[in-house]
A and B are shown apart, each in its own frame.
Chain A
Amino acid sequence: MAKNFSFSKLWKGPFGTYLIVIVAYVIFQVLASTGNLPSVIIGLLPTICAYIAAAVSLNLVVGISGELSLGHAAFMSVGCYTGVVAATCYSAMFDIPWLVFFLSMFTGAAFAALAGFVVGVPVLRLSGDYLAIVTLAFGEIIKNIMNNLYVGLDASGLHFSLTSTTDLHMTNGKIIINGPQGAVGIEQLSTFFFGFILVMLTLAVVLNLVRSRSGRAIMAVRDNSIAAESVGINTMKYRLMAFVVAAALAGMAGVLYAMNYNAVVPVRFDYNASILILVYVVLGGIGNIRGSIISATVLVVLPEVLRFMSEYRMLIYAIVLIAVMVLPNVPAVKRFLDYLPTKLPFLRKRSEVPGDVVGGAE
């Protein structure tokens, strides 16, 4: 056993990814508690965790399953709103914040998974750009419904309406979801620690799924669906599996995200939000879980860091985005990038095996 032990092998595997997250959590926690972190960033920590979870789960769809989805934020919104409603009900039952939080998170995940199933069954009959546009359409439909959803809670239970708050017919009830104003009066239960737990949970689900029999089937369908079908893999089942698992994880991320704020409007989860998550995945490297974690962190923090440039910050953000995508493909820069490793040995890539990008699969 001991003879075969190699740190670099362990580092490349899932344990390396867990280790990065744990170390990053400890560093940020220490920085925050010693007051070395600006308060803006401290408030942003659960949001960063939510976006990491969302990006990793989207990477399961885009990278591992190979489907371009432009409606991922919609599953966050389903998780967010069901989670907030559930939290209001649960906190009437128990007075333990962490229990309320995690129960709401799983409720949100369950509903998001249900939404993922309902959307996935028709959507996954398509492929390529058509699948992308239909996921976008579903995302807009879900946003549109959320924009007109009214939910209230009173002594007799939950009330729903799709027209207005007066249609809820409540007596001294509390309005939880108020149409275009979204979820209001949310209990701010999210903490950095809960965010850390969610990220670890997401990683555990995705990394274990990727290395399981099902995960290999999902990747086989991605690489060549006809070949996969010919060896008896049920392509629909595995594509749907990746889609639903990703939706459930996004739902959890939505709950964490919502409970970091007082109120969350449905417009937060429009197609721009979906595209933003996709940007994290693509910049981090499609199929690369660690890349998603890093790019989500950097890109959530970047606009805050650029705040001193006030109105120019989104402009800079856009230019950085274009530059990162385009520059490596400009011939002169490409030649330079190919030339660098010949002079600097530590930059040399060890392997060029395509399967290696998946969080270091064996």
Chain B
Amino acid sequence: MGFLENLINGVSLGSVYAIIALGYTMVYGIARMLNFAHGDVIMVGGYVSFIIASSMGLNPLFGILAAVVVCTLLGITIEKVAYKPLRQSASLTVLITAIGVSYLLQNLALLIWGANPKVYTSVVAGWPKLMLFDGQLIISAETIVTIVVCAVIMVLMVLFIHKTKMGKAMRAVSEDPGAARLMGINVDSTISTTFAIGSGLAAIAGVLLCSSYPTLMPTTGAMPGIKAFTAAVFGGIGSIPGAVLGGILLGIIEVFAKAYIGTQFSDAIVFAVLIIVLLIKPSGLLGKYVPEKV
């Protein structure tokens, strides 16, 4: 039973990584930038839903809604103010700006909400647990909700990318921004939309993450952000099924490493697996291999 329980917990943690990784991979695929501030948007989402649901005592659903709206607006603002002027700049300039935005969000959160960790009340608190095999295997409502939400989001994203006009525009921009512009696609608004979607997903990830791991601090988003980023690379950056696969595998590896090898080395093992995968398949699990042309 222990194995099955770990597996389910791993898939649940991995689902959170997968949702965050979706934001990373979409932004990278379209704007070719590593958005280091993505992890901190998760933290903002966590705080906003905390304020609405726990402090003001409203229905958690309003908390989730508010978090998504605030984070989407935040994502659009960050993109407009910090990244848009840098479209033509070197990738390192954009990277450093993203790091600056990450510091900014963390320190704003520190000023507004303080350094003391907040105890987050799960959005599905009080929902029944699922008991299987005569109560030997207990699955919490958070775990089930996280996995279901992740699956729904992935299906919706794939449909959005492949069936809608905006999704088509996104694929075109990620292929060749110059040619896309010549075809009458508004590249700027496409990139803004991508940021908006990625940040909205980050808000949902923040709510789910804090429901399962209920400590909320200004640095809460940093480590999951980094892990999700490795998950996106692991699955092949730029690929949506890759991000989900990478996230879930990373979550499973992390939980198994904690259970069978020891908590203290779990991060090292996660990163070691990433390195091994990249050395064997440099473009990630589902990434496209683009040979270098002379």
A interface, CB within 8 angstroms of B: 62, 68, 122, 125-126, 129-130, 132-134, 136-138, 140-141, 144-145, 147-148, 226, 271, 275, 278-279, 282-283, 286, 311-312, 314-315, 317-319, 321-322, 325-326, 329-331
B161-194 interface with A by 8 A CB criterion: none
- Cα of A226 to Cα of B291 in the assembled complex, Å: 13
Given A311-B110, A321-B100: A137 and B275 within 8 A (CB)?
yes
What is the chain B residue whose CB lies nearest that of A142?
Answer: B268
Q: Which residues of chain A are within 8 angstroms of B278 by Cβ–Cβ distance?
A: 126, 130, 133-134
The reply to whether the CB of B294 lies closer than 8 angstroms to some CB of chain A is yes
Give how many B residues have a beta carbon under 8 Å from the other chain's beta carbons. 44
Q: Are A325 and B96 in contact (CB under 8 A)?
A: yes
Q: Which residues of chain A are within 8 angstroms of B283 by Cβ–Cβ distance?
A: 130
Other A-B contacts than A133-B233, A325-B93, 19 sampled, CB-CB below 8 A, are A122-B275, A129-B28, A133-B278, A136-B226, A137-B272, A138-B271, A140-B267, A140-B268, A140-B271, A141-B267, A271-B226, A314-B103, A314-B107, A314-B110, A315-B108, A318-B103, A319-B104, A326-B97, A329-B88
Q: Which residues of chain A are within 8 angstroms of B132 by Cβ–Cβ distance?
A: none
The reply to whether the CB of B151 lies closer than 8 angstroms to some CB of chain A is no
Given A125-B282, A315-B107: A137 and B92 within 8 A (CB)?
no
- Cα of A271 to Cα of B108 in the assembled complex, Å: 21
Q: Which of B28, B229, B271, B294 contacts A141 (CB 8 A)?
A: B271
Q: Which residues of chain A are within 8 angstroms of B95 by Cβ–Cβ distance?
A: 68, 282
The reply to whether the CB of B113 lies closer than 8 angstroms to some CB of chain A is no
Distance in angstroms from B244 CB to nearest chain A CB is 18
Q: Which residues of chain A are within 8 angstroms of B143 by Cβ–Cβ distance?
A: none
Q: Which residues of chain B are within 8 angstroms of A148 by Cβ–Cβ distance?
A: 264-265
- Cα of A279 to Cα of B267 in the assembled complex, Å: 25
Q: Are B104 and A315 in contact (CB under 8 A)?
A: yes
Closest 3 pairs between A and B when the two form their complex, measured CB to CB: A137-B271, A321-B100, A318-B103
- Cα of A329 to Cα of B90 in the assembled complex, Å: 11
Q: Are A318 and B85 in contact (CB under 8 A)?
A: no
Q: Which residues of chain B are within 8 angstroms of A275 by Cβ–Cβ distance?
A: 99
The reply to whether the CB of B73 lies closer than 8 angstroms to some CB of chain A is no
- Cα of A331 to Cα of B87 in the assembled complex, Å: 12
Given A133-B230, A147-B264, A321-B99: A141 and B272 within 8 A (CB)?
yes
Q: Are B264 and A317 in contact (CB under 8 A)?
A: no
Q: Which residues of chain A are within 8 angstroms of B31 by Cβ–Cβ distance?
A: none
Can you list 12 A-B pairs with a CB-CB distance of less than 8 A? Answer: A68-B92, A129-B28, A129-B91, A130-B283, A133-B230, A137-B272, A137-B274, A282-B95, A283-B96, A315-B111, A318-B103, A325-B86
Given A133-B230, A144-B265, A282-B96: A321 and B103 within 8 A (CB)?
yes
Q: Which residues of chain B are within 8 angstroms of A140 by Cβ–Cβ distance?
A: 226, 267-268, 271
Q: Which residues of chain B are within 8 angstroms of A271 by Cβ–Cβ distance?
A: 226
Q: Are A321 and B275 in contact (CB under 8 A)?
A: no
The reply to whether the CB of B130 lies closer than 8 angstroms to some CB of chain A is no
Q: Are A145 and B268 in contact (CB under 8 A)?
A: yes
The reply to whether the CB of B237 lies closer than 8 angstroms to some CB of chain A is yes
Q: Which residues of chain A are within 8 angstroms of B108 by Cβ–Cβ distance?
A: 315
Q: Are A130 and B233 in contact (CB under 8 A)?
A: yes
Distance in angstroms from B282 CB to nearest chain A CB is 6
Distance in angstroms from A274 CB to nearest chain B CB is 11
